[in-house]
Amino acid sequence: MKKMALTSKSEGFIGQGIEIKGSLTGDEALVVEGKITGEISLNNHLTVQESAEIKANVETVELTINGTLEGKVQVSELITVNSTAQVSGELYSPRIIIEEGARFNGHVEMDFELPEGI
């Protein structure tokens, strides 16, 4: 498995009133409170806040989920599914934490190869 490194201390933000459809890529950490439908590829940390609704395939270094996420998720370091999260889909990461109270429906795999370029 190819290791990714956190590459930036800056952080982007998508507010509650924002809805994005399509592909989102970048090197900054990102906090999402709004809606995203499509694809997300970050070379950093993605935080899904309680108000967020994400229906996307996600590739990132670290992921913290507090809100709703549906899709195929590939993370090179750590996925944290907090108690307020609702997750549906496939989770691939070497380390996964699912807190008591979180809703999860899907598949978890902790030994996988990342796609080229991530």
In this predicted model, what pLDDT tens digit does every residue of 18-38 receive, in sequence order? 999 999 999 999 999 999 999
The percentage of the chain sitting over the pLDDT mark of 90, rounded to a whole number, equals 83
pTM: 0.86
User: How far apart (Å, rounded) are the C-alpha atoms in residues 34 and 77?
Assistant: 24
